[in-house]
Chain A
Amino acid sequence: MINLPLLPIILPFLFAILLLFFKENIRIQRALSLVGVIISLIASFYLLVTVKSEGVLAVTLGSWPAPFGISMVSDMFSALLVTTTLLITLFVVAYSFTAIGEERERYFYYPAILFMVTGVNGAFTTGDIFNMFVFFEVLLIASYLLIVLGGEKKQLRESIKYILVNVVSSALFVITVAYLYSVVGTLNMADISVKIAEVGQPGIITVIAVLMLIVFGVKGAIFPLYFWLPGSYAAPPIPVLALFGALLTKVGVYAIMRTYTLFFVHNVGVTHEILMVVSVLTVIVGCVGALAYFDLKQIIIYNIVIAVGVILFGAAQMNEAGISGAIFYLVHDMLIKGALFLLIGIIIYVTGTSNLRKMGGLMKTHAPLGWFYLIAAFGLAGIPPLSGFIGKLLIAQGAFQAGNIWGSIIILASSLIVLLSVIRIFIYAFWGEPVELPKTKRKPYKRMMLPTIVLVVLSVFYGVGTEWIIPYVTDATDVLLQPSIYIDAVLKE
Chain B
Amino acid sequence: MKTNDVILQTTTKVVFFIIFLFSIHIFFAGHYTPGGGFVGGLLTTGAIVLLLLAFDLKTVQKALPFNFTIMTAIGLLLALGTAAGAIFFNVPFFTHAFDDFTLPLFGVTSLHTAMVFDAGVFLVVVGSAITIIQSIGGDS
Contact = CB atoms under 8 A, between A and B. Distances in A.
Contacts of B93: 3, 6, 10, 59, 61-62, 72
A62 B96 contact: yes
B80 A3 contact: no
A468 interface: no
A20 interface: yes
Interface string B90-103: 11111110000000
Nearest to A1: B90
A62 B117 CA distance: 13
Given A20-B69, A23-B69, A14 B95 contact: no
A21 B76 CA distance: 11
Contacts of A10: 80, 84, 93
A3 B69 contact: no
A21 B70 contact: yes
A20 B70 contact: yes
B94 A62 contact: yes
Interface string A1-40: 1110010001001100110110100000000000000000
Interface string A35-59: 0000000000000000000000001
Contacts of A2: 90-92
B133 interface: no
B138 to A, nearest CB: 15
A10 B93 CA distance: 10
A2 B93 CA distance: 9
Contacts of A17: 73, 76-77, 80
Interface SS of B by simple majority: helix
A20 B72 contact: yes
A469 B71 CA distance: 45
Contacts of B76: 17, 20
A63 B72 contact: no
Interface in B42-99: 69-70, 72-73, 76-77, 80, 84, 86-87, 90-96
Nearest to A13: B80
A60 interface: yes
Interface residues of A, number: 19
Nearest to B86: A3
A167 to B, nearest CB: 18
Contacts of A72: 93
Contacts of A13: 80
Contacts of A60: 92
Nearest to B72: A20
Nearest to B73: A20
A303 B64 CA distance: 52
Nearest to B87: A3
A294 to B, nearest CB: 41
B125 to A, nearest CB: 15
Nearest to A62: B94
Interface string A465-493: 00000000000000000000000000000
B72 A61 contact: no
Contacts of A21: 70, 73
A63 B95 contact: yes
Interface of B: 69-70, 72-73, 76-77, 80, 84, 86-87, 90-96
15 contacts: A1-B87, A3-B93, A6-B93, A10-B84, A13-B80, A17-B73, A17-B76, A18-B73, A20-B70, A20-B72, A20-B76, A23-B69, A61-B95, A62-B93, A62-B96
Given A2-B92, A18-B73, A62-B93, 6 more contacts: A2-B91, A17-B77, A20-B69, A21-B73, A59-B92, A62-B94
